[in-house]
Amino acid sequence: MKESPKLVETEGLDLATFGQRLRHVRRARGMTLADLGARVGRTPSVLSLIENGKREPRLTLVEQLATALGVPVGELLKKQPPSRRAQLEIALEQSQRDPSYRALGLPQLRVGTRVPTEVLEHLVGLATELRAQRSKPTATPEEARAANAALRSSMRERGNYFPDIERAAADALARASYAGGALSQGMLLSVVAQHGFSVRFVPDLPRSVRSLTDLRGNRIYVKQEPVGGHSARAVILQALGHFLLGHDTPRDFADFLRQRVEANYFAAAMLIPETAAVAFLRDAMSRRDLAVEDLVDVYSVSYEMAAHRVTNLITHHLELPCHFVKNDASGIIYKAYQNDGILFPADITGAIEGQRMCRQWSGRRVFSAPDRFSPHYQYSDTPAGTYFCVAQVDPRADERGYAISLGVPFEHSRWFRGRETTDRVKSNCPDGECCQRAPLTLAERWDGMAWPSARAHSHILSALPAGSFPGVDDVDIYEFLDQHAAD
């Protein structure tokens, strides 16, 4: 009995390289596509798709092609292009599929035999440099901090109120016949469908994204959370907001940051609609009972979103200046906003993010409160004046825990729940005698006798990730979309 030929492993076959090797060997044998097709029982058009890397051949066809061409199967399956020109053609084809190249809006360049090899060398060199430029960090930490400071200044000038986004959210809700109350999942999906999108909940969303939108299939992918997990409503609405607000690929980090703030604002305006929320807040103000937690209950949103939404509305509609802070247990500030004159710690660029807040502020003292998940009220005497603040650790945050603080100047505390508190502290920060330096007796005892190993805050100190969308892994998201496109 004749021994069967040994099967060759084809897993991981690079279609472009295989097609180039097939074309190279065919031409070397003086065959046309029609000649080779007649020998293997395939049409010239099918073989052309294979040679151009557009179709994956079955192993049996690879063996038939090798036999017809008189070469070992392994010769066709080598991972190296057959020539320098073939290598350049493959590199140019791959470059034209790269997002940085496609963003130029150039037509697809088809490389024929008449295109000189020197021209290919130039084109591939330019495409390689384009990718290299794109791979550089979107911004240095200094540039990112400056962008944050500039955006915060713009938000302060307008009282953190964006009328165009409010109108866009109101129009989207009206189109879906929203009748009021917390936005249900059914109503959310109706809103999304009104704009031509569908939502897919998946367990394998790439780790580098909160959502992923397939613009070919008009699908918004979000992570499938376990029962009782965090709601995906805000994430879905943020994704939709990018399109309804006319966002394009960010030009730089400042543009990326602006788009993210606007998308977050849109989601909040959808989940806590302006007209109803303002009426709710006015009523609470008339009863001197303004409270962030009431919006949490009524609209089923996170404490952070509710506090953000209060800052959007109370200055513009109720003429109440305010401030907002998000920080961790060590006092590191992640987000901050103010139009009430409070003095946040800041670096020389005016950046607040990454600075450590005073130990006496409510955002730090709440972590030592008997119940950190309930509102902690206090008055703080500061160099800029006295402020009434309420802080709470958001129970929906991750295991690290973040405190969310909302505050107003003393004269406006009369409108808020918790104003009766007798908890009053004094803060002299940024004066070092307040809390930035240890008490003298403590310093004398331990100065020179301590050697800490600092925990680096990588999100603040390191160079920012590369790409138009910082931190997003293009390979992960393209592979994900490819896998789910046929679902």
- Domain contains 56: yes
CA-closest candidate to residue 467, choices 206, 258, 251: 251
According to the model, what pLDDT value does residue 105 have? 78
- Residue 5, domain member (yes or no): yes
Nearest to 171 by CA among 263, 95, 274: 274
Crossing angle between the packed helical segments 163-175 and 233-244, to the nearest 10 degrees: 110
For residue 204, give Cα distances in angstroms to 200, 208, 244, 303, 398.
11, 11, 27, 27, 19
Q: Quick check: is 443 in a domain?
A: no
User: What pLDDT does 192 receive?
Assistant: 93
pLDDT of 21 reads: 86
Q: Which CATH number belongs to the domain containing residue 4 in this structure?
A: 1.10.260.40
Helix (H, G, I), strand (E, B) or coil at 211: strand
The secondary structure of the chain in percent helix, strand, coil, rounded to multiples of 5, reads 45, 10, 40
Query: pLDDT value at position 363?
Result: 96
CA distances from 6 to 3, 61, 72 (A): 9, 15, 12
- The torsion angles phi and psi of 332, rounded to 5 degrees, stand at -70, 130
* Bond into 383 cis (ω within 30): no
Quote the CA–CA distance of 3 and 136 in Å, as a whole number. 56
pLDDT for the residue 475: 61
Within a domain: residue 285? no
Q: Which residues fall within 8 angstroms of residue 318, CB to CB, at 6 or more apart?
A: 281, 282, 285, 415
Q: Please check whether residue 67 lies inside any domain of the structure.
A: yes
pLDDT at 69: 93
Q: What residue numbers bound the domain in which 15 lies?
A: 1-82
Number of compact structural domains in the chain: 1
* DSSP-based three-state secondary structure for 380: strand
Residues near 85 by beta carbon (within 8 Å), at least 6 away in sequence: 117, 120
Cross-strand bridge partners of residue 214: 219
**What gap in Å lies between CA 110 and CA 60, rounded to an integer?**
30
| Helical spans, DSSP H, in 439-486 | 440-446, 458-461, 474-484
Tens of pLDDT along the chain (487 residues) come to: 333 344 444 555 778 888 888 988 898 899 999 999 999 999 989 998 998 888 888 888 999 999 999 999 888 888 778 888 888 888 887 777 777 677 777 888 877 778 888 888 888 888 777 776 665 555 667 777 788 888 899 999 999 999 999 999 999 999 989 988 899 888 999 999 999 999 999 988 888 888 999 888 889 999 876 544 456 899 999 999 999 999 988 878 888 889 999 999 999 999 999 999 999 999 999 999 999 999 999 999 999 999 999 999 999 999 999 999 999 988 999 999 999 999 998 888 788 888 889 999 999 999 999 988 899 999 999 999 999 999 999 866 555 689 999 999 999 999 999 999 999 999 998 777 787 777 777 777 777 776 666 554 444 434 445 555 666 666 667 667 777 776 7
E strand or H helix at 387, and its extent? strand 385-393
* 18 belongs to a structural domain: yes
Does residue 34 sit within a domain?
Answer: yes
Question: In 234-249, which positions are buried (b, 16+ CB within 10 angstroms) versus exposed (e)?
Answer: bbbbbbbbbbbbebee
**What pLDDT score was predicted for residue 1?**
36
Supply angle C-alpha 377, 379, 384, rounded to 5.
135
Q: Tell me if 63 is assigned to some domain.
A: yes
